[in-house]
């Protein structure tokens, strides 16, 4: 699988930045179970092997993602999950940092979804035949059709997962109830907008390891951009069933 995250994506290099890895912030264990994401089959509790965060270049680890197999007829039903690591060039690999991922499920047809803790997930528009034979699935390509309307963000020739789902409710909002901007201000203390805080945080929209509300590389502006950039009350919805 290949997938690109909007937050750390650099359109000049067509790679993602690996700031979380450089800062030593990528957790050893997958974060999705603790965050309340659904796990199925033998998914959940994946732990990255030691030493893989020393890899640099295109194969440097950017963050954890969550891959789901969903029922072909009822795609709201999750049949199997696997937390995996995404590299700068978009390759999704197992905990050893090299191997293609495998999910425990009977051979058959499934919708495949990929999710990230503060980005929108995306799912294949149609079910895909899966078995023990390796299957290539490129979520960065426009030829890979996804469920819904504007399920991914187009940047040049690449398709990305939308950034900014800080509140993690399936909507990107800049203003109003349950918006994604306010948690960023709260994370830096709630009163001084020029403050910042370092760490592995949901509020770190661009995944640079620092939560900022204002200034260069702040985490607020991408939210406004992704709802359209002009109307702050606009809302973008995640395209998952």
Give the Cβ contact number of residue 141 at 10 Å: 13
Residues 66 and 141 placed together within one structural domain of the fold: yes
**pLDDT score at 17:** 98
Pair of tokens at residue 100: 């293609």
Residues 141 and 77 in one domain: yes
Residues 124, 27 share a domain: yes
Alpha helices (runs of H) in the chain, residue ranges in sequence order: 19-22, 32-35, 182-187, 221-226
Q: What is the mean pLDDT of residues 38-62?
A: 97
Domain that holds residue 227: 171-237
Per-residue pLDDT band for 218 (boundaries 50, 70, 90) equals very high
Q: Are residues 141 and 183 in the same domain?
A: no
Nearest to 102 by CA among 125, 83, 89: 83
Q: Does residue 3 form part of some domain?
A: no
Confidence of residue 167 (pLDDT cuts 50, 70, 90): very high
Last residue of a domain, one of 97, 130, 160: 160
For Cα atoms 176, 181, 184, give the angle at the middle one, nearest 5 degrees.
140
As to burial, measured by CB atoms within 10 angstroms (0-12 exposed, 13-18 middle, 19+ buried), residue 159 is buried
- The answer on 209 and 155 residing in a single domain is no
- pLDDT-derived band at 68, boundaries 50, 70, 90: very high
Residue 150 domain flag: yes
d(CA 76, CA 79): 10
């Amino acid at each position: 699988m290949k997938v690109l995250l909007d937050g750390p994506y650099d359109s000049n290099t067509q790679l993602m930045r690996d700031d979380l890895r450089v800062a030593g912030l990528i957790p050893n264990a997958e974060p999705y179970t603790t965050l309340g994401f659904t796990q199925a089959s033998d998914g959940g509790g994946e732990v990255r092997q030691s030493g893989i965060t020393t890899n640099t270049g295109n194969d440097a680890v950017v963050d954890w993602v969550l891959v789901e197999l969903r029922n072909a007829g009822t795609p709201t039903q999750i049949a199997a999950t696997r937390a995996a690591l995404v590299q700068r060039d978009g390759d999704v690999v197992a905990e050893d940092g090299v191997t293609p991922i495998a999910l425990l499920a009977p051979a058959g047809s499934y919708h495949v979804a990929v999710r990230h803790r503060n980005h929108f997930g995306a799912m294949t528009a149609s079910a895909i035949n899966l078995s023990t034979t390796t299957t290539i699935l490129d979520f960065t390509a426009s030829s890979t059709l996804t469920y819904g309307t504007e399920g991914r963000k187009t940047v040049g020739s690449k398709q990305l997962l939308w950034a900014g789902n800080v509140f993690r409710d399936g909507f990107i909002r800049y203003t109003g109830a349950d918006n994604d901007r306010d948690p960023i201000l709260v994370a830096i203390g709630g009163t001084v907008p020029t403050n910042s805080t370092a760490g592995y945080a949901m509020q770190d929209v661009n995944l640079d390891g620092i939560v900022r509300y204002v200034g260069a590389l702040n985490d607020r502006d991408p939210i406004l951009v992704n709802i359209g950039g002009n109307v702050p009350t606009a809302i973008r919805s995640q395209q998952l069933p």
